[in-house]
Structure 1
Amino acid sequence: MRDADGNPVLDAQGNQLFPVLDQARTFRFVETVSVRTGDPHAPKYAFIPCFAGGTLIETATGPRTIETLAPGDMIRTRDNGLRRIAWIGHTSLDRRQLDLRPNLRPILIRAGALAPGLPERDLTVSPQHRVLVSSKIVQRMYGQSEILVAAKHLLAHPGIEAICPDEGVTYWHMLFDRHELVLSNGTWTESLFTGPYAMRNISYAARREIFSLFPELARPDFCAHPARLLLNGQDGRKLAERHIRNRQPLVSSD
């Protein structure tokens, strides 16, 4: 199995592959360690949509940092009003892990990068986390006013960049009973989408918890329905380039 950039991430048995080295950096090997595979409690890495710690999520009582949220909390959504969190989890990666796996480095969307005032403050998400893009260009290209694009496919856009924090990153995953759009630092982004790719890339323990809440997700014939059209990498990058060329914001009010 490979990620959207073509890097192998899982072998035929579903085990995580290590590492993909960043060729722009110099590494010195100082020790060898044993890696135990098959640990059901070992976290899978962040190949799924996640918010970095500190992200402000709009709730029924106002914005709260995502790490303070819990199942049962009511979250404001774009399509369905206030919705209850069904499950929330997190994965922490230190600087060494981010050095070894540059494709896991968080994406920083600076305040105002999507449009004037959006996001309202710097927003940090996992590479796969999808952001709502809405513009006349979207309407012309896809025949609908709003679509979802992974943050990593917007890297060509000014104010959006991959970062490697010295302190590492903790990614938070938030699940509802359906795919939702939530306000994060003032801009609309997705909740955890229970498509097959995401479900393969969370830990065994997390998957077991989620299946206990939503048994239908374990069925081979289950088909998850996204809140908006999900663009693949090629189309997402093309869309970003079109906005840059036309000097248009990724989110417009008209």
Structure 2
Amino acid sequence: MSIPRLTANAAYSTPVRSIPARPEPSRLPMRHYTNLWLTADGGIEERDQMAPALPLFDAAHSAFARGTLITTTRGPVAVEDLLPGDLLQTSAHGPLPVLWIGRMTLQREDIASRSVKLTRIMAEAFGIARPMADLLVGPGARILTRPRDLRASIGSDHVLSPAHVLADGMHAFGVTPPRAVTFYHLWLRRHALITANGLEVESFHPGAGFERDVGPSMLSLFLSFFPQIREPHQFGPLAHLRLPLDAPDTLSVA
């Protein structure tokens, strides 16, 4: 079996300003996204935007379902109660502020069509309090795993794996909730491991070289979601190796 390509990244630099959005072809299915961000003077701004319902945009807004507890310097806080500027506890870099929060709601028809993959990870699937309660995650979520089967191939004891490849029918399941579900993702000043319901997960990062996979107009639209970002390299390097979000469900990461 071939191993999905793992990503690396370029150096991090400080974001500076926004790029205005450009119209996209109307033939693409569109989705409503909401973005909140921390301004240079410490304020908070919010903006609703429409964009094509493509993996690039969905991944930035669809990691953690409403109700997920994120570990902060104040203790666990429901993801929907977080604001830009709140300090999250990270595994390797200490407390880091949330710079940006992405939010989207998947409607019943989106879920029923199975066009997006939702995964429920059962409480203590990976050990005591990992997670401490069931964790519902969306297509943009990656979980830190220790894949014995891939260790020799990837040269690392840890890899960030998309949640859907963890579904084994016992510890994690693909799910189709009967009602709309709101999801969130969190961007920090550097890619980092944070904790959701006691499980190590990643903060948002679009991936190394993602700009090579989209046209100029789509890239401009995507960057307009991040007012602190001017160029793709300003998302910084990845903290860990990771598997692509479209990794096959049959991949073993146990």
Relative to the length of structure 1, the TM-score reads 0.68
* Number of matched pairs: 204
Offset at residue 216 of structure 1 (A)? 2.6
Alpha-carbon shift at residue 238 of structure 1 (Å): 3.0
The structure with the largest alpha-carbon Rg is 1
Q: Per the alignment, do residues 166 and 204 of structure 1 end up closer, same or farther by CA in structure 2, a change over 3 Å counting?
A: farther
Q: Secondary structure at the match of 1:103?
A: coil
3-state secondary structure, aligned to 1:97? helix
Structure 1 portions without partners, runs of 5+: 5-11, 19-38, 244-254
Name the structure with the higher helix share: 1
For 2:160, what is the secondary structure of its paired residue?
strand
Matching of residues 145-164 of structure 1 within 5 Å: 145-156=157-168, 158-164=170-176
Gaps of 5+ in 2: 5-23, 31-47
Residue from 134, 140, 161 that aligns with 1:122: 134
Say which structure, 1 or 2, has more relative contact order (CA 8 Å, 6+ apart).
2
TM-score (norm 2): 0.68
- Correspondence 1:104 to 2:113: no
Q: Displacement of 1:136 after TM fit?
A: 5.2
1:213 — aligned with what? 228
% identity of equivalent residues: 26
Q: Which residue number in structure 1 is paired with residue 191 of structure 2?
A: 179
Residues 72 and 146 of structure 1: CA distance in aligned 2, closer, same or farther (over 3 Å) = same
Deviations 1:10-58 (A, max 9, x none): xx9596349xxxxxxxxxxxxxxxxxxxx95357363445111100000
CA contact (8 A) 1:132 1:146 kept: yes
Indicate which of 170, 194, 203 corresponds to 2:182. Answer: 170
| Distance in 1 separating the partners of 2:29 and 2:107 | 17
Tell me which of 27, 50, 58 is aligned to 1:41. Answer: 50
Seen in structure 2, the aligned counterparts of structure 1 residues 105 and 115 have a Cα distance that, compared at 3 Å, is same
For the 8 Å contact 1:139–1:145, the answer to whether it is kept is yes
Partner of 1:52: 65
* Higher-strand-fraction structure: 2
* Displacement of 1:176: 0.8
Q: CA RMSD for the aligned pairs?
A: 3.3
